[in-house]
Amino acid sequence: MNWTEITITTSYEASESVSNFLLELGANGVIIDDESSPPLTNDALSPITPACGGRGVTLITHFPTDDLVGTKIAKINTFLKEIQAIGLEIKPAQIEIKSINDEKWAESWKSAFPPQEIGRRFIVSPGWNKITPSAGKIIIWLDPGMAFGTGYHPTTQLVICLLEEVISGGESVV
């Protein structure tokens, strides 16, 4: 089976709405690449202010290549116009489409999720990365999915940094 990769670059404020819309269209997941928000450290516990006038947020998803891809692209364009009409900034609102062959697809997507260090002690890593932490490091095993991702989202980073401040050892956290 071949796939169509759809990449949408939009504003920070529209990215959650667009990501949700892609899931409603039937995407199994959305990769959110927000390079304007660097990983947080304990020195960066101030509120997050999205970058203004930056490149925006890149959303990447994949659909099976079939007769419905054109319809999905049209629906995405319509959705972008609708949210802009109600006052949500969507710029730069760029859509790119690329065909992907099915070669090693089931494994190649995993390369987009390397282990990520957050704060002084934590590493967020998907379960398939067999890493051994150095002394004093704590691994949080978190496989990317529709509800949770990879530690790149600012809310995940803030929670981890706050936990680092309040956890002293031996506690269990859910």
Q: Strand 122-125 to strand 116-118: parallel, antiparallel, or no bridges (unpaired)?
A: antiparallel
Mean pLDDT rounded to a whole number for the chain: 80
When pLDDT is averaged across residues 105-116 and rounded to a whole number, the result is: 74
Q: At 92, is the pLDDT very low, low, confident or very high (cuts 50, 70, 90)?
A: confident
- Grouping H, G, I as helix, E, B as strand and the rest as coil, residue 2 is coil
Round to the nearest angstrom and report the end-to-end CA distance of the chain: 39
Q: Is the pTM of this model over 0.75?
A: no
Q: How buried is residue 70: exposed, middle or buried, by Cβ count under 10 Å (0-12/13-18/19+)?
A: exposed
CA distance 14 to 81: 11
Let me know: does 106 contact 14? Beta carbons within 8 Å.
Answer: no
When pLDDT is averaged across residues 49-57 and rounded to a whole number, the result is: 53
